Chains A and B, each alone.
Chain A
Amino acid sequence: MKKYFEYFKIPFIVTFVIIIICVFVKASHNSQESFEWGNEDAEKQENVWDVANALTDSQREELDGIITDVEDRIGCDVAVVIIDESLEGLYSTSDASRWVMNFADDFADVHEMGYDAPHGDSIVFLDNQYRESDGHVYSWISTSGRGMDELTVSDCESIMDDALYDLDDYSTSDDYFRAYSRVVELLPVYMGSAPAAIQIFKPSYIIFAALFIAALYIMINWNSKAGVRTTSSTTYVESGRPMIKRKQDTFIRKSVTKVKIESSSGGGGSGGHTSSGGFSHGGGGHSR
């Protein structure tokens, strides 16, 4: 035990110092500029629509509080909608990932969401826990106004990849609460043009990296083998080198071949579209 602490003395100290620095950084950056509501009707509306009963009452309340804080930080009306039913057949498209998009867009339209004004700055996170007939569970983040301007499709996808990666059919209400509140907390991170490094420090990546480093550490220290060959081809050769009697490299001929270089082209994509209500929405999807 004494040996153990002696061995890990420096790593422990380093970890401790990093923790102190991180806590200090977080504490000193917590005060953020904030926005003012311009749409009283929307301000009074529910933030959490837990139709699927995935959360407990106290979790719903806590999530509501988190959303209220976030709304003022990002200047967007935010709603978390949780349903558990098939959306098959409700929309004209057969692409199941588009059903949640339509549902979320319509939700924002119907509730006239908007931080500044109805049909204004808003973000709807929809999680449909129902496993559709194609075997996937779909989620969507629908954005409007400021939300659409400041969140790209890949931002929306990153937020959900980061927050929802460990959800499955056996997730408890605690798991869902953790995941949903993470989605909401990540909104200001990505909208405030979060440091690119946040994409690297996803929980799944951190755990993967830690496993990798631990495995590497074990491999390196597994068993220490001492003793490799330290003789060379000339160790036992008299005077340290052979007698070279003939060394000849005569050029005979050469041949040249030519190959045409193929060039390739790539394309990009955009996330903007118009909902059935005629309002324009952005956003991105996730499935599990």
Chain B
Amino acid sequence: MLFKCRNCGGNIVYDPVKKAMCCPHCESLDSEEKLPGSSIVNNCPNCGAPIVLKEHTSATKCPSCGSYLIIDERVQEVYEPELIIPFKLGKNQVKEILYKEFGKRPFTPAGFLSYAGLEKMEGNYVPFFMYDYSADINYSAVGTKVRSWTSGSYRYTETSYFDVVREMDADFEKVPVDASVEMDDTKMDLMEPYKYGELEKYQDKYLSGFYAEKYNMPSTELEGRAEEKVQRDSEELLKSTLGGYATLTNVNKSIRTDKKGVKYALLPVWEYIFGYGGTEYKFMVNGQTGKVVGTTPVAKGKVIAYGATVFGLVTLIGFMIRMALMAL
């Protein structure tokens, strides 16, 4: 499908800043009209150019006319997302965020964060499964607390032993796991947390103006990762109640997790790609919170020049102070 402007016929996109459908051609607000079509075998419903789709793509941009297309079959029926967090940050805001994060870095190559490079940035809706789990934590251990003091010419060490027992329940809600092969799992995990207060019921219009994927695999295949997260968090919850002990010798520890439900959602991620020295450096920005994930490339020549300058300045200052001290 494709959203067209009733006033001028142009392609209407969702504007994260105005929080509305906005025609970039005539600046009409909410003047959209849904034009169905653009299924997997079809051509662009706007210009007729053939569209080559990747296996999981559910929203893309026509390479000929630049219209944003949504692939009906991939957002409907089994592929219809239940929830979505619409993009909240527009391209210009993300540019600012990236500048703030990396703009002052001395060793980044020329061309990093260039205007043209940042213009090419695209927003992606990444498919996520959100799992509900309940965890049942049972723990018992022998803990020690150590106290020591000096009296006369002797040093005393007192070790106290405690019987430690913990039993707790935790209900985990909407633990997210990305269902995209293309998106790096580590980076997607670092995109968390999203503010779930802004989760909405899925609507097609939010996709217009962005790229999107349907889930690449069924939710059962990703349960393992969700469970790992629940286990990790449960461990930490347990640990946070065990402060004050010098040592803990476990007698029994069990964390039982139980899946309660799962929902399919799309979450917004901006992606900036910078190619340098034959490597693609990918930067992800949470389209809702603005959290940045990525590692900057290093220009060796700059490292040498800047490092030598620091060395030279410190040496110079050192010898100047030495000269002044010798005269005192």
B52 at the binding interface (Cβ < 8 Å): no
Chain A interfacial positions (CB closer than 8 Å to B) = 4, 7-8, 11-12, 15, 18-19, 21-23, 25-26, 29-30, 185-186, 189, 194-195, 197-198, 201-203, 205-207, 209-211, 213-215, 217-218, 221-238, 242-261
Kindly provide the distance from the CB of B132 to the nearest chain A CB, expressed in whole angstroms: 9
Chain B interfacial positions (CB closer than 8 Å to A) = 101-102, 105-108, 135, 137, 142-143, 150, 153-175, 187, 189-190, 192-193, 229, 232-237, 240-241, 283-284, 291-298, 303, 305-328
Residues of B contacting A254 with CB < 8 Å? 158-161
Q: Give 29 pairs: A residue, B residue, CB < 8 Å, sorted on A.
A: A11-B309, A11-B313, A19-B320, A21-B324, A25-B324, A26-B324, A198-B325, A206-B314, A210-B312, A217-B310, A222-B303, A223-B107, A223-B298, A230-B192, A233-B233, A233-B240, A236-B175, A237-B171, A238-B171, A238-B172, A238-B173, A242-B170, A243-B168, A244-B167, A252-B162, A253-B161, A255-B159, A259-B154, A260-B153
Known: A15-B317, A210-B311. 14 other contacts (CB 8 A): A213-B311, A218-B307, A221-B105, A223-B297, A224-B101, A224-B102, A225-B296, A226-B101, A226-B293, A226-B294, A242-B137, A244-B167, A247-B166, A257-B157
Complex partner residue of A203 from B163, B303, B322, CB under 8 angstroms: B322
| Residue in A closest to B236 when the chains form the complex, CB atoms | A233
Contact across chains for A251 and B160 when beta carbons are under 8 A apart? yes
Contact across chains for A233 and B309 when beta carbons are under 8 A apart? no
Task: Report the Cα distance A191→B49, complex, angstroms.
Answer: 90
Contact across chains for B311 and A211 when beta carbons are under 8 A apart? yes
Contact across chains for B190 and A228 when beta carbons are under 8 A apart? yes
Contact across chains for A22 and B291 when beta carbons are under 8 A apart? no
Contact across chains for B192 and A235 when beta carbons are under 8 A apart? yes
Task: Report the Cα distance A223→B142, complex, angstroms.
Answer: 44
Contact across chains for A18 and B325 when beta carbons are under 8 A apart? no
Contact across chains for A246 and B167 when beta carbons are under 8 A apart? yes
Say what secondary structure dominates the interface of chain B. Answer: mixed
Contact across chains for B310 and A214 when beta carbons are under 8 A apart? yes
| Residue in B closest to A246 when the chains form the complex, CB atoms | B167
User: With A198-B322, A203-B319, A229-B190 as given contacts, are A7 and B106 in contact (CB-CB < 8 Å)?
Assistant: yes
Kindly provide the distance from the CB of B222 to the nearest chain A CB, expressed in whole angstroms: 15
Contact across chains for A18 and B321 when beta carbons are under 8 A apart? yes
User: With A25-B327, A237-B170, A261-B154 as given contacts, are A221 and B322 in contact (CB-CB < 8 Å)?
Assistant: no
Contact across chains for B167 and A258 when beta carbons are under 8 A apart? no
Kindly provide the distance from the CB of A264 to the nearest chain B CB, expressed in whole angstroms: 13
Residues of A contacting B235 with CB < 8 Å? 233
User: With A194-B325, A233-B233 as given contacts, are A226 and B102 in contact (CB-CB < 8 Å)?
Assistant: yes
Task: Report the Cα distance A229→B233, complex, angstroms.
Answer: 12
User: With A194-B328, A203-B322, A243-B168 as given contacts, are A223 and B296 in contact (CB-CB < 8 Å)?
Assistant: yes
Complex partner residue of B315 from A207, A236, A253, CB under 8 angstroms: A207
Complex partner residue of B241 from A29, A189, A244, CB under 8 angstroms: A244
Residues of B contacting A201 with CB < 8 Å? 318, 321-322, 325
